[in-house]
């Protein structure tokens, strides 16, 4: 993972603070010491008491052993393994180096453990948005190294592999497919990025690598490794920028939006979704791509209502406006400009996402209808998506006060827990079980909770 720093100071403690976007004074206040004491800690001039170490672990959201490494002055050579907030110098060479270093770290057992504990860093998102929107595009995507010659057939193989891995992800869950994805990135895509290619091939190579890196981030997200997922999404955005492909960048921004919603980073979710929509409009995106981006923005707006009861009228109206615009765009049908990643969503995925938005603003009957339509649309495919739609339907029925139907829908998702390596699905079912607390005296609720706990234990 690293080694004790030979020089003076505690570089990883300072880096952890910067990742959080905190000044020394802010970090000191959060931990409960003076700014001067914090400065001495970072410089290695003062010891850190056990109580303060516990406070540091709590403030930065890491394990105690990680804080011990910081205090001991350990330094990590591969800084790309940390979610830095900047895009480097924006050059293609820097982008390729950063992303291949990240993939290599994933296969190093000592670094893999550290990557899995990375926190989600909201401060990184601001720099990414600025770099995406205003950064200077690379002059050329060509590379004249000494490696193998890369052609369009190599790009085709990457894209076909990504589609196959995506299907595996839906069928079996991220826990099964993620190691395969990382081995493919490190073993097959890295040599291509370091090879020889002209500008046209290079641009398509960057975009193909962006798609595979987005999948790496998505599978980390499904497993609950949010800092790791965020870092892959950031690298995917850089690759899309290097490939001058706005729609691929918008795709990554939509995935980041979904992660921000999940982590209740509501303001960031709105900004990310709006950046995706703005990117799509400037690129004159195909109608169904615009429909998906508009639904993501609606979801970001609606996410403010989570845990806050009925939304204000302005929130509901904004969500309704965005969903209506998305419906009109989707009604225009497919376009020969549709990117291939759009197939991973499809009409059922769009409908399911719209149903979640309706549920968030209290339109539970409509939400249930959309969830049922999505389940039918999947027609037995996309097992994980079907189970999420079942839970969506369960929550909608519960919102209408139809307890029995809600529990019936939730029970339908439980058998797939053993077949799908998806901690995210498990968490959704646990959340639904928690929402049954007002009915805890009901025999039906007790039986459901006992059944869920038994299946999870098994």
pLDDT digits (tens, 9 = 90+) for 3-20: 344 445 888 888 888 877
- Which range (152-156, 348-352, 413-417) has the least confidence? 413-417
Residue 6: its pLDDT value, please?
Answer: 42
Beta strands 74-75 and 196-197, pairing class: unpaired
CA 454/CA 456 separation, integer angstroms: 6
Domains of the chain (ranges plus CATH)?
A: 3-77 (1.10.260.40), 85-244 (no CATH)
Residue 4: its pLDDT value, please?
Answer: 40
Residue 77: its pLDDT value, please?
Answer: 38
- Write the DSSP string, 69-108: HHHHTEE-S-GGGS--SS-TT--HHHHHHHHHHHHHHHTS
**Tokens 């720099």 found at:** 127
296-324 confidence digits (pLDDT tens): 999 999 988 754 555 567 889 999 999 99
With a CB cutoff of 8 Å and minimum separation 6, the contacts of 404 are 444
CA angle in degrees (0–180, nearest 5) for 260-263-265: 55
Is 90 exceeded by the pLDDT of residue 330? yes
CA 260/CA 237 separation, integer angstroms: 16
Is 70 exceeded by the pLDDT of residue 82? no
Angle between helices 423-434 and 383-399 (to 10 degrees): 10
Beta bridge partners of 3: 75
**Percent of the chain whose pLDDT exceeds 70:** 92
Tokens found for residue 265: 């980073």
Angle between helices 152-172 and 199-222 (to 10 degrees): 10
Beta bridge partners of 197: 143
C-beta separation of 121 from 20 below 8 A:
yes
- Write the DSSP string, 223-234: TT-HHHHHHHHH
Instruction: Tell me the mean pLDDT in the region 262-276.
Output: 94
Nearest partner of 372 among 388, 356, 390, judged by Cα: 390
Residue 120: its pLDDT value, please?
Answer: 84
Instruction: Count CA atoms within 13 Å of residue 232 on its CB side.
Output: 29
Is 90 exceeded by the pLDDT of residue 363? yes
Beta bridge partners of 149: 196
Nearest partner of 119 among 184, 166, 74, 67, judged by Cα: 67
- Which range (74-88, 240-254, 264-278) has the least confidence? 74-88
Nearest partner of 422 among 117, 172, 192, 87, judged by Cα: 172
Instruction: Tell me the mean pLDDT in the region 218-230.
Output: 92
78 or 245: which leads in pLDDT: 245
Instruction: Please tell me the chain's helix, strand, coil percentages from 3-state DSSP, rounded to the nearest 5.
Output: 75, 0, 25
pTM exceeding 0.85? no
C-beta separation of 97 from 194 below 8 A:
no
Is 70 exceeded by the pLDDT of residue 2? no
Residue 115: its pLDDT value, please?
Answer: 73
**Tokens 């999404």 found at:** 233
- The residue count of the chain comes to 458
Residue 15: its pLDDT value, please?
Answer: 81
Sign of CA dihedral 323, 329, 334, 337: negative
CA angle in degrees (0–180, nearest 5) for 212-215-218: 160
118-176 confidence digits (pLDDT tens): 788 887 888 889 889 888 877 888 998 788 999 999 999 999 999 999 999 988 888 89
Alpha helix (H) residue ranges in 136-198: 152-172, 174-184, 190-193
H helix or E strand, kind and range, residue 3: strand 3-4
Mean pLDDT value across the chain: 87
CA angle in degrees (0–180, nearest 5) for 298-304-305: 100
């Amino acid at each position: 993972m690293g080694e004790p720093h030979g020089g003076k100071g505690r570089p990883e403690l300072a880096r952890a603070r910067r990742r959080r976007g905190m000044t020394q004074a802010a970090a000191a206040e959060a931990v409960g010491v003076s700014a001067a004491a914090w400065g001495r800690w970072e410089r290695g001039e003062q010891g850190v008491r056990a109580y303060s170490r516990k406070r540091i672990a709590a403030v930065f959201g890491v394990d105690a052993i990680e804080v011990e490494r910081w205090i001991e002055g350990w330094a990590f050579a591969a800084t790309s393994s940390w979610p830095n907030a900047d895009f480097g110098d924006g050059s293609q060479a820097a982008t390729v180096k950063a992303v291949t270093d990240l993939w290599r770290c994933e296969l190093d057992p000592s670094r893999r453990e550290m990557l899995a504990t990375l926190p989600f860093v909201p401060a990184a998102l601001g720099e990414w948005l600025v770099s995406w929107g205003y950064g200077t595009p690379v002059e050329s995507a060509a590379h004249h190294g000494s490696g193998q010659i890369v052609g369009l057939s190599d790009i085709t193989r990457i894209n076909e592999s990504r589609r196959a891995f995506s299907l595996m992800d839906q069928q079996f869950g991220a826990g099964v497919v993620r190691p395969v994805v990382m081995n493919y990135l490190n073993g097959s895509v890295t040599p291509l990025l370091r090879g020889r290619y002209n500008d046209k091939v290079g641009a398509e190579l960057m975009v193909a690598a962006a798609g595979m890196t987005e999948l790496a981030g998505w599978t980390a997200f499904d497993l609950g490794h949010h800092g790791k997922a965020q870092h892959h999404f950031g690298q995917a955005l850089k690759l899309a920028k290097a490939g001058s492909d706005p729609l691929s960048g918008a795709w990554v921004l939509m995935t980041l939006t979904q992660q921000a919603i999940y982590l209740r980073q509501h303001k960031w979710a709105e900004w990310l979704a709006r950046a995706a929509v703005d990117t799509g409009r400037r690129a004159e995106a195909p109608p169904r791509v615009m429909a998906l981006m508009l639904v993501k923005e609606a979801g970001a707006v609606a996410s403010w209502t989570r845990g806050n009861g009925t939304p204000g009228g302005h929130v509901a109206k904004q969500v309704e406006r965005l969903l209506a615009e998305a419906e009109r765009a989707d009604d225009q049908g497919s376009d020969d400009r549709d990117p291939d990643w759009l197939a991973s969503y499809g009409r059922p995925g769009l409908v399911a996402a719209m149903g979640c938005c309706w549920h968030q603003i209290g339109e539970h009957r409509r939400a249930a209808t959309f969830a049922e339509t999505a389940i039918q649309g999947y027609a037995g495919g996309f097992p994980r998506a079907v189970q999420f739609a079942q839970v969506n339907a369960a929550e909608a029925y519960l919102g209408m006060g139809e307890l029995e139907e809600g529990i019936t829908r939730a029970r339908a998702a439980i058998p797939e827990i053993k077949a799908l390596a998806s901690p995210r699905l498990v968490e959704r079912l646990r959340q639904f079980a928690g929402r049954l607390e007002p009915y805890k005296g009901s025999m039906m609720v007790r039986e459901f909770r006992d059944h869920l706990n038994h299946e999870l234990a098994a």
